[in-house]
Amino acid sequence: MKQATKHAMRDLRHKGQSLLEMAILGPVLLMAFGIVVTYIAKANADQYQLQEAFRRALKKSHDENKAISYGTWDDRRQASPEDPGIGQKLPASGAGFVLWAIPSVDERGEDTQDNTYVKMNEVMSIRGIPIEYNLGPGGSGAVEKTYYISGTNKTLNVNTNNRRTTSSMSAVVGETMIYKINGQHYAQGRAHFQGGSLSGGGGNDD
């Protein structure tokens, strides 16, 4: 009897140790996985912005018969392993330069004209056309400085009824972004909403 009790206590300690190890290791693994996913998302976003900048520079150079520098910038909010509701800013950018200029037939020997454009985020005009900023010849498309004015609100509700627990979370972020480009300031705004619910348990007492 005593031997069986000792075995039972040993098994109980092992199970408790295993649960404790899982409780410690689980969040660490989830955090590491979240960091890897964020890194992959950042690399993918940078590649997309680079390709988009080249395509837009190519079209502008063809349409205007000029040497075109085109920059893209996107700092949308993405899911965050640290705060899934509020999220995190994940900036991505790209730049392209294309010279597709047909020389004038009058052979006056003039230099090819140039122009610089920047597109900030996926902001559309009333007509559904992406808004881009024309910085003119010789302009720098680099984002010199960024200002954020943010307001956040997060709500968590937990209800228990008949041994069933339900929780819901919602978060709202309103932001105004001010970008300094080529000595000028450009303002934009956005709103971000995230929500979800979980439930578990169930059954009634007999």
Q: What is the pLDDT of residue 19?
A: 65
pLDDT at 171: 82
pLDDT at position 54, please? 93
| Structural contact between residues 164 and 202, judged by C-beta atoms closer than 8 angstroms | yes
Residue 105 neighbours by CB distance under 10 Å: 6
pLDDT tens for the 206 residues of the chain, in order: 555 565 556 665 666 666 666 777 777 777 787 778 778 888 888 899 999 999 999 999 988 888 899 989 888 777 776 776 677 788 888 889 998 777 655 556 566 788 899 988 877 766 677 788 888 887 777 788 888 888 888 887 878 877 777 877 788 888 888 888 888 888 888 887 776 666 655 544 44
Q: Which has the closest alpha carbon to 121: 139, 110, 133?
A: 133
Short-list 79, 91, 70, 85, CA closest to 177: 91
Q: Biggest alpha carbon distance in the chain?
A: 109
Q: Name residue 56's beta-bridge partners.
A: none
DSSP 3-state of 38: helix
What residues contact 99, with CB distance under 8 A and at least 6 apart? 61, 67, 68, 112
Domain ranges in the chain are: 2-143
Question: According to the model, what pLDDT value does residue 99 have?
Answer: 87
